[in-house]
Amino acid sequence: MPSDAVTVVVPTYNERENLAHLAAAVLLHGYRLLIVDDGSPDGTGAVADSLAAEIERVAVIHRTHKQGLGSAYVAGFNQALADGAEIVIEMDADFSHNPEDLPRLVTAVRGGADLAIGSRYVPGGATPDWPWYRRFVSRAGGTYARFMLDMPIRDATAGYRAFNALALARLPYREVEASGYGFQVEMAWRACQAGLEIIEVPIVFRDREMGTSKMGPGIVLEAMWLVTRWGLGRMFGRTDGPRP
């Protein structure tokens, strides 16, 4: 599989300080980069356009306003699959996901995984920049999702992941309910329901050095509410949760 059969999808909103550096790090591996910008007022879209004009392996989807992580990935998945990608990768724009780990995710998919998740919570994974209470909240949320949805995945909220394109196309990702980081849990659950081969690859997750985090209480509450609703539906035989 040639390296240009891999497309890295990166949603952006006010990531002007990071984008050019991230693009250089991704392109170093020979992969394609697809930027999905939600009308960033800081000029991120203009930086993305400049990169796309200079580099054939960079493409940009412009959206008029901030519509959420979930729908940004839906748009990116649609384009990547239409362009013939064989592996589609999700990645944050802020360097919390180390670009040096990209080949490890790709190798896992080439080795037979339908979904390779960059996991903070398997042996070898770590969150060295986090205080204890942030680790506690993150692990507690992940444990809650695993229990409510009966998933074997240790890091279901992880946003660094690679899909085999054929497996991704089998998932009804266009029907996602979550607009924020609950999207990651929802897609993990859909993958489990569909019987996909899932591998967790250990990564070291670091906090951003430039720019501002987009994580807010509303995003967390949305994820918790959806996981609770889906979990109760699963337990009591309701059918309003995600389906493969």
Structural domain includes residue 240: no
pLDDT band at 244 (very low <50, low <70, confident <90, very high): very low
Structural domain includes residue 241: no
**Residue in the block written with tokens 């992941």:** 161
Structural domain includes residue 183: yes
Query: What is the pLDDT, as a whole number, of residue 243?
Result: 47
Structural domain includes residue 229: yes
Q: Which domain holds residue 104?
A: 3-235
Structural domain includes residue 79: yes
- Specify the CATH number for the domain of residue 140: 3.90.550.10
Q: What SS3 state is found at 236?
A: coil
pTM: 0.91
In the chain, how many domains are there?
1
Structural domain includes residue 243: no
Structural domain includes residue 242: no
Per-position DSSP letters for 126-157, written without gaps between them: B-TT--HHHHHHHHHHHHHHHHHHT---S-TT
Structural domain includes residue 87: yes
pLDDT at 215 over 70: no
**Side chain identity, residue 75:** A
